[in-house]
A = this chain, B = another copy of it.
Amino acid sequence: MMFETDSRPGSEFCVPLALTLLLAALAANVFAADPLPSWNDTLPKKAIVAFVEKVTHEGSPEFVPVVERIATFDNDGTLWAEQPVYFQILFALDRVKALAPQHPEWKSKSPFNKLLSTPKEQMVPVTEHELMEIVVAAHSGMTTEEFEKTVKDWVATAKHPKTGKLYTEMVYQPMLELLAYLRGNGFKTFIVSGGGIEFMRPWVERVYGIPPEQVIGSSGKLKFEMRDGKPVLLKLPEVDFIDDKEGKPLGIQTRIGRRPIAAFGNSDGDLQMMQWTTAGPRARFALLVHHDDAQREWAYDRQSQCGKLDKAWDEAVAKGWTVVSMKDDWNTIFPK
């Protein structure tokens, strides 16, 4: 567009020019707006942007059609925190306490009696097997709809023992920006988590913008049953699928049926997903979040019970995958 201009200040002919300049400035600004403001300008951010530009630039030899832009994200320790233990375990402990009045037999039955007699602020000494019993008790014996309501209520009210925040406030701001950035570039974002699929679905759409049909997780067996002529799905006390380690590529194959071109994780449980992702042809991207920020979050890796990062770290270094230092690469951890 061309404008006839007039140099006299205040002239009405100046308005279109001023407007044009303003619009041009705004447009340039929008163009330059940083989609990842919580990421420092260090290597991980540069690697992410370089990858996305490469696969989305039509005509580039590495161009990937929109339908194949699948990105998979671990949840615990990758999208939200996972200390002192996986949040789903804290949910299960709360559930068992809430269900106790309906289970008088728990008063004399281990591990439930141990859990119920321990004050809230103390850790309960349970074995891994006992913990599994507690988790199964908390996740079965109701319909899928009843369970969904339970999760929604818990997520809306329960607070983290250390930070006092709602658990959904302990998601990582840089990862929220990354999810949005990828979706803005035509990616379909999936969660591929060892966590329970029905524990995640009630809130991840609101919090991460990821719809239930793009959530893959561990799951228990279900039973279809008619109750007064209405069908319900009952949650049985049996594990059906564990979406961890080798389970992640299997879950990706059976649920998505397409190999991701980018995978994001933080622990050894994500190693096989990253191997599977990066073994595909053409450009691939793998990123590990390293929890090394004891001040703002937690610092743990090779020795941790939750989110152990050991073999996957070695392989990331050997293969040149991107490793994020929360301390050095993120200027913000949780949303403000």
**CB-CB nearest in chain B for A251:** B222
The answer to whether A272 and B231 have CB atoms under 8 Å apart is: yes
**CB-CB nearest in chain B for A190:** B213
- Contact for A67 among B211, B223, B272, CB less than 8 A: B211
Q: Contacts A213-B258, A257-B201 given: A250-B230 contact, CB under 8 Å? A: no
The answer to whether B213 and A144 have CB atoms under 8 Å apart is: no
- Contact for A224 among B198, B213, B233, B249, CB less than 8 A: B249
- Contact for A212 among B231, B233, B257, CB less than 8 A: B257
**Highest count of chain B CB atoms <10 Å: which of A67, A214, A224, A230:** A224
A21→B230 CA distance, assembly (Å): 54
**CB-CB nearest in chain B for A202:** B257
The answer to whether B255 and A144 have CB atoms under 8 Å apart is: no
The answer to whether B253 and A255 have CB atoms under 8 Å apart is: no
Residues on B with C-beta less than 8 A from A100 are none
The answer to whether A257 and B222 have CB atoms under 8 Å apart is: no
A214→B211 CA distance, assembly (Å): 13
**CB-CB nearest in chain B for A256:** B213
Interface size in chain A (residues, C-beta < 8 A): 36
The answer to whether A257 and B197 have CB atoms under 8 Å apart is: yes
Residues on B with C-beta less than 8 A from A144 are 253
Q: Contacts A144-B253, A219-B254, A279-B230 given: A224-B212 contact, CB under 8 Å? A: no
The answer to whether B249 and A231 have CB atoms under 8 Å apart is: yes
A275 within 8 A of B: yes
The answer to whether B254 and A212 have CB atoms under 8 Å apart is: no
A58 within 8 A of B: no
A130 within 8 A of B: no
Residues on B with C-beta less than 8 A from A238 are none
**Chain A, 215-230, CB within 8 A of any chain B CB:** 215, 219, 222-224, 226, 230
Q: Contacts A211-B67, A213-B188, A224-B249 given: A197-B254 contact, CB under 8 Å? A: yes
A181 within 8 A of B: no
Q: Mark A258-287, 1 if CB is under 8 A from B, else 0.
A: 100000000000001001100100000000
Known: A224-B249, A233-B276. 19 other contacts (CB 8 A): A67-B211, A197-B254, A197-B257, A198-B257, A201-B257, A211-B258, A212-B256, A212-B257, A212-B258, A213-B214, A213-B255, A213-B257, A222-B250, A224-B246, A231-B249, A231-B279, A233-B249, A233-B253, A255-B255
Supply 6 A–B pairs (Cβ within 8 Å), ascending by A. A211-B258, A213-B257, A215-B257, A222-B250, A233-B253, A255-B255
> Ordered nearest first, which 5 A-B pairs have the shortest CB separation?
A212-B257, A224-B246, A213-B256, A201-B257, A231-B275
